Structures are given as C-alpha cells and as structure tokens.
Amino acid sequence: MIITRSPLRISLGGGGTDLPSYYRDHSGFLVAAAIDRHVHIVVNRTILPEMILKYSQTERVTDVEQVQHPLVREAMKLVGVPADGLEIAAMADIPAGTGLGSSGSFCTALLRALYALRDDNPSAAEVAEQACHIEIDRLKEPVGKQDQFIAAVGGVTCFRFNPDGHVEYWPLRASSDTLRKLESNLMLFFTGYTRSASEVLREQDTKTKAADSSMIENLHFIKDIGLKSKDALEGGDLRAFADLMNVHWRWKKKRSGSMSNNRIDEWYDLALKNGGIGGKLIGAGGGGFLMFYTEQHDRLTAAMAEAGLQNVPFRFDYAGTRLLAGATPAPALRPGIRRAA
C-alpha cells in the first residue's frame, strides 16, 4: 500500500499572476504558504481484474480511458500505469471548491503515488510541472501554476513565473519570529460556499488573452502587491502586510462581479470591526475561505462564530508533497535551493 500527502495552501500576495495568459507576456510573482490541511491518496494493488477508484464517487473500470475523474485519468496516462488490479482512494481535510488549491494538491499527491508504484522518485519541481501540464495543457483548465508548485515544495515560498514557462522559487526570507507571528495571527473562516475555481478564473483568463486593458492593469497592480507583501514580511512589518491584504482584496474584487457577494462583504466588514486588521477571500473568489490577520483572536473568533462562520486553525507545512508509506521518501529540499520547472 502506498500513501501520499499534499498540503493545501493560502496565497499571501500576488495571486492570479500565475496564469499563463498573464505571465507569458508580463511574468508573474506571488508569495504562498502551504498549510497543514491535506489531501491524501492511497494506492493499493489487488488481485481483481479491474480498477476501483474512490473519491466523492466510486468508479469501477477495466481501462484507463474509462476513468471519469479527469485528473486521475490523465495522471495515469502520463505516468503509464495500467488500470487492472489497482485501487485508488482520495481523502481531503477540506472540501474541494473552497479556494485552498485542492486540485493542485490532489494532482501532486496522485502523481507522487503513481510514480512510487513504478519505484520512481521525481523531484518536487518535476511533480509540480507535470501536474501543471495535466491541468493546463491536457485538460485546458484556465488555472495557474501556484497550487501545484506550493503543494509540491511546501513552506512559505516566493514564486516567479517567467514568460517561457520556467518557474523559479525560493523560501521567503523572513525571520523565524516573523513566521511564527504570521502563523499565529492569520485566521481562516469558512463561508459555507463552494464553487468551481475554473468558472471564476475563466473570465480573467479570457480578458487577459484579449489584452483587456483594465484586467492587465489590475494584474500588474496585484503583482506589485505581491512584491510589497514579500518586502513587508521579510522586513518583519506584519501590520504593513495586513494593510496590503485589504488593498489586495479591493483590487481583486474589481476583476469580476462574481468575486464576492453581499454576505461575503458583510462578513469582511464585521471582521474588520472585531479585531481583523487585514483580510481577503482566498482563492479564485465567489466562496471558500475568508482569511484575516488579527492580534485579537478570541474577539474575532467570537464575532465570526456568531455570524455562523467556522474558524479552521492551521499551521504552515514545510514538507510539501510527501510519500508517507510504501517506498523510500523523496529527499527533503534544502532551503534556499532554486528549482526550475
């Protein structure tokens, strides 16, 4: 039996500039953090002449082409794993469609498990790039490269997306004390809404490809927010980072009318009146999680709970996509090493 695990993620600044429709012409930049909420993949060999696939649904097939789950089907075809005698189960700490990058985490965990079946051990960057290839090139989803890369490499990490598709990444150069305070003072609240990231991102992708001036200007500004967020965090100025979160959210809402709604806006305002210093909606928008930076945890938790929002505590995950059982784990990445996609 093989068991793999990939972390979910939060974006700390610059999210949206990782889509090919933007970075191929302008380059992208963002800061993201992997968190200790995970997607697990379990793969088991059986004596049955069929494949059993378990996620929110159950599939029984005898050929890879019959698999209905697109990520599983394309990952198996890419790695070259046959369907017969295979059982795959997927489990997640957080539901899909909540803005924490679950499809990227699912895909990287699945690839790591399928390669373990072949006794192969690709690098984190190779796993991330192959996951991007599946979602962006094979399935034509209007998504970026952030989710796959932060899931694969973990940590609190800076990413640069170059026009040629090359991805550079390195650990955020913040002090240990700053990272501890950041981890302690960021809070996630579930809105109760789930949505398809592809549907929300399609508008951005279409407008960017059409060189829509307002969209390009917005993404230029968001990229600058990402760079300023990096500087604030590396300088230990967490109040400045929190202020940038608010600016980021105001500009993010301009990208699409479906980015927010009246209830999300009300919850956001409620949080800022009850100890939240800065905040934004995580992910593509339209639902999922609100994230706030606060130094008044109890006050904010109580106000949001009264409004019906559940706090989901987390810590940063520095391991990335891991093989937990079934073969020799991949060697840990050394901090500061830059990997190319």
Residue 341 lies in a domain: no
Mean pLDDT, residues 121-136? 97
Residues 6 or more apart from 250 whose CB is under 8 A from it? none
Q: Looking at residue 331, what is its pLDDT?
A: 45
- Co-location of 86 and 66 in the same domain: yes
Mean pLDDT of 18-43: 97
Within the chain, residue ranges assigned H as helices are 20-26, 70-79, 102-117, 124-132, 146-153, 176-185, 197-209, 213-234, 238-254, 262-272, 297-306
- What CATH number is associated with residue 199? 3.30.70.890
In a domain, 334, yes or no: no
334 pLDDT higher than 50: no
| Structure tokens given for 323 | 């093989």
Q: How far is CA 337 from the centre of its chain?
A: 21
Among candidates 181, 308, 168, which has minimal Cα distance to 232? 181
State the Cα–Cα distance between residues 276 and 279, nearest whole angstrom.
7
With 90 as the cut, is the pLDDT of residue 326 above it? no
> Do 9 and 131 have their domain in common?
yes
340, part of any domain: no
> Are 19 and 109 found together in one domain?
yes
Nearest C-alpha neighbor of 67 from the set 47, 40, 90, 34: 90
Contact yes or no for 17/335 (Cβ under 8 A): no
CATH number of the domain that residue 46 is part of: 3.30.230.10
In a domain, 332, yes or no: no
The predicted pLDDT at position 196 comes to 67
SS (H, E, C) 227-264: HHHHHHHHCCCHHHHHHHHHHHHHHHHHCCCCCCCHHH
Is the per-residue pLDDT at 341 higher than 50?
no
Q: How many domains does the chain have?
A: 2
154 and 11 in a common domain: yes
Percentage of the chain exceeding pLDDT 70:
93
**Structure confidence at residue 197 (pLDDT):** 65
Tell me which residue of 94, 91, 44, 327 sits closest to 194, measured CA to CA: 94
Give me the residue label for tokens 């993010």. Answer: 252
What gap in Å lies between CA 49 and CA 215, rounded to an integer?
51
Higher pLDDT, residue 127 or 286: 127
| Residue 208 domain-assigned (yes or no) | yes
Range of the domain at 91: 2-174+317-325
Q: Report d(CA 98, CA 196) in Å as an integer.
A: 8
- Domain assignment present for residue 51? The answer is yes
Q: How confident is the model at residue 258 (pLDDT cuts 50, 70, 90)?
A: confident
Q: Are residues 58 and 207 in the same domain?
A: no
Q: Is 114's pLDDT higher than 80?
A: yes
Nearest alpha-carbon partner for 231 in 187, 282, 181, 172: 172
